Amino acid sequence: MHREHEEAMRADFSDRVAISLNALAPGVTDDQVDEIRRRVAEYDQRWQSGPHAQEWAFLHAAYTDWRDYPEDMRIFVEDLRTNPTVYADYGPTEVQLRSLNQAHNIAREQRCAQQTWKPSTQREPIRRDR
C-alpha cells in the first residue's frame, strides 16, 4: 500500500467513525440518521470494493476490537511488541501495526469522551407510585 493511499484510508476511516457517532447524538431525526448511514456506507463501499479492501477491513476490525475489548487488545498488542520474533512469519504488517495504533487512539478518545459526558439534568425524575 502506497503511503498516500494509507494516509487517505486513515483520514477516511477517522471521518467515517466521527460521522457514525453523530447518529447517537440527542435529537437526531430519522432522516438525519438515514443520511449518516448513507455517508458511512459510501466510505465502506469505496474502500471495500478497491484494491485495499483487506486493509480497510483490518482497520475496521481493529477499531471494533479496541472499542469492545480494550483489555484483550492491550494484552495482544503488548505481546506483539515484546515477542516480535514469535510473530515474524505471520504477524501483522507495518500497515496493520499502524492500523492497530490508529484504532486504539480512536477508541480511547471515545472512551474518554463518554466518561466526561454527564446526563442532562432536564429529565423528569423516575416515579415509582404504588
Instruction: Report if residue 91 sits inside a domain.
Output: yes
Domain total of the chain: 1
* Residue range of the domain that includes 107: 8-114
- State how far the Cα of 107 lies from the Cα of 78, in Å rounded to an integer: 17
The cell 480511547 sits on which residue?
108
Instruction: Report if residue 130 sits inside a domain.
Output: no
Instruction: Report if residue 96 sits inside a domain.
Output: yes
Rounded mean pLDDT of the chain? 88
Residue 52: its H or E element:
none
Instruction: Report if residue 68 sits inside a domain.
Output: yes
Model confidence at 100: pLDDT above 90:
yes
pTM metric for this prediction:
0.82
Give percent of the chain above pLDDT 90: 71
Q: Using an 8 Å Cβ cutoff, are 44 and 15 in contact?
A: no
Instruction: Report if residue 129 sits inside a domain.
Output: no
